[in-house]
Amino acid sequence: MNFFSFFSGKKEENMDITEPNIAQLAPWVSKTTDCMELRLVQPQLDQPDASEPITFTSFEPAFTYPIFGEQEVVFGYKGLSIQISYTSGSLRIYPRNDYKEKYVAASSSSASTIPESADDVSSMILDFLPKQDCFSNYDEFVRTVQEDAEAFRPMGEKVHEYTRESSENDNEEEHFEIYRTSLANEKFREYHRRMQFFVLLFIEGSSYIEEEDEKWEVYTVYKRQKAGASTFYHFVGYCTTYPFFYWPECTRLRISQFLILPPYQKAGHGSELYQVIYSTCMARNDVKELTVEDPSEDFADMRDRNDLRYLNTHKALDDLVAPVSRKTMKELRQKYKLTDRQMQRCVEMYLLSRVNRLQKEEYKVFRLQVKQRLYLYNLDVLKDLEFEDRKEKLEQTFENVIEDYHRLLEMI
């Protein structure tokens, strides 16, 4: 019997679904996105004499369906609390589940719709974690937090470092570093097994990559912190990239997973990471194009802003006016290694930033260029519409795109 089919009201064969059963079982259902908490744990660096030797930053997952199923619920607990703690640099793991009451089936019940036991939450989580790096004893985990804090160092080649104003003290700067390595590094593969759990919780539709494929390159971001004579590193986020064949003898580099953990979001770390990857592509003669696998809206925004900034900084679009020829667009795309659609969007934003809407003929030429791209991009949908409907739909799409361009240009 599938309890969750029962709970959602989907009737299965030989199931006696009744309102009393729903009322009886509902209190034992927990929404996992609400009761799960992730923690990045580190020693008390600012207060070494504090009674509690560790401190932590906590945040909640965006998704849990890869672990707990589409409905993101578990059955069998009241007051369920799921905590997954990580050492902030080495990412050693301490998973813990607490609850106020656990479901026990009534021995006299014979109804086929009544579950026999509570879900095994610990096993469901451990199926996605490297068990050899998980602690079951809290005191051992605390000792590891303290030991690993000083001993851990990022793996791979340091390719970039930058600073940000401290979120706690305006007169101080926080230091960050970006490293590049590959899954050909066996020790790093072990580390990657610890950090990959985050992508399930924060990247919609994500799954674990094939770690035996040594072509994967991984960029990791860390906060570097000094305390006395010691240096500590705290995990911020990471990105995976994969090289594909690009005819005739070149490479198309694809960004696959891209994640900055919630405590570090909205501070420009994603832009720093993307800029490093893009600059690496520009410096490599074998790479002819940078692509992105199923980008989220937030990532697409960040990518648009950074690509346009780069092109403006290098005066790539200076003096362009609509209509921009396909030949010019191809030359720009090849030189700056962007996909055709991405280069066209950047060119359109540049043109919009300079077009005079009051000059009707000038704006008309710009509008026709954008609409031509939108028509070709949405051809499968538009071709089946009547002429007037197609015209109206295209105009609506155009206005939405222009509104979005204005929003992005205000951020640049």
Residue 379, both tokens: 């051809």
Q: Are residues 133 and 29 in the same domain?
A: yes
Cα separation, 268 vs 71, in Å, equals 33
- What domain range includes position 261? 153-294
Q: Percent helix, strand, coil in the chain (nearest 5)? A: 40, 25, 35
Residue 189 labeled ligand binder:
no
Q: For position 51, what pLDDT does the model report?
A: 72
Q: Over the chain, what is the mean pLDDT?
A: 91
Reported confidence tier of residue 52, pLDDT bands at 50, 70, 90: confident
Q: Are residues 253 and 330 in the same domain?
A: no
* Catalytic option among 172, 293, 392, 399: 293
Residue type, 62: A
Of the chain, the percentage scoring pLDDT greater than 90 comes to 81
Q: For position 8, what pLDDT does the model report?
A: 42
What is the pTM assigned to this prediction? Answer: 0.91
* DSSP annotation of 324: P
Whether 138 is covered by a domain: the verdict is: yes
Per mean pLDDT, which of 9-23, 161-175, 279-293 is the most reliable? 279-293
Residue 80 labeled ligand binder:
no
Q: Are residues 124 and 162 in the same domain?
A: no
Whether 302 is covered by a domain: the verdict is: no
- Give 54-90 pLDDT, tens digit per residue: 999 999 999 999 999 999 999 999 999 999 999 999 9
Q: Say whether pLDDT at 312 is over 50.
A: yes
The residue among 206, 268, 205 whose CA lies nearest residue 237 is 268
Q: Say whether pLDDT at 109 is over 60.
A: no
- Mean pLDDT of all residues in 282-299: 96
Q: Say whether pLDDT at 320 is over 60.
A: yes
Whether 300 is covered by a domain: the verdict is: no
- Mean pLDDT of all residues in 245-258: 93
Supply the CATH number for residue 279's domain. 3.40.630.30
Q: Say whether pLDDT at 166 is over 50.
A: yes
Q: For position 159, what pLDDT does the model report?
A: 98
φ and ψ at residue 92, rounded to 5 degrees: -75, 150
Q: Which of 294, 327, 355 is the last residue of a domain?
A: 294
Q: Are residues 197 and 232 in the same domain?
A: yes
Is residue 293 annotated as part of the catalytic site, yes or no? yes
Cα separation, 177 vs 180, in Å, equals 10
Q: What is the distance of C-alpha 154 from the center of its chain?
A: 21
- Give 176-230 pLDDT, tens digit per residue: 999 999 999 999 999 999 999 999 999 999 999 999 999 999 999 999 999 888 9
Residue 258 labeled ligand binder:
yes
Strand partners, 234: 223
Q: Are residues 320 and 278 in the same domain?
A: no
Whether 299 is covered by a domain: the verdict is: no
Residue 259 labeled ligand binder:
yes
Q: Are residues 229 and 246 in the same domain?
A: yes
By mean pLDDT, which of 10-19, 163-172, 339-348 is the weakest? 10-19
Q: Are residues 159 and 141 in the same domain?
A: no
57: exposed, middle or buried (Cβ count in 10 Å: 0-12, 13-18, 19+): middle
Residue that is written with structure tokens 């703690």 in the block: 85
Q: Are residues 22 and 130 in the same domain?
A: yes
- Mean pLDDT of all residues in 259-287: 97
Q: Are residues 114 and 133 in the same domain?
A: yes
- Mean pLDDT of all residues in 116-139: 96
The answer to whether residues 399 and 352 touch, using CB atoms and an 8 Å cutoff, is no
Domain count, the chain: 3
Q: Say whether pLDDT at 171 is over 80.
A: no
- Mean pLDDT of all residues in 388-396: 93
Residue 385 labeled ligand binder:
no
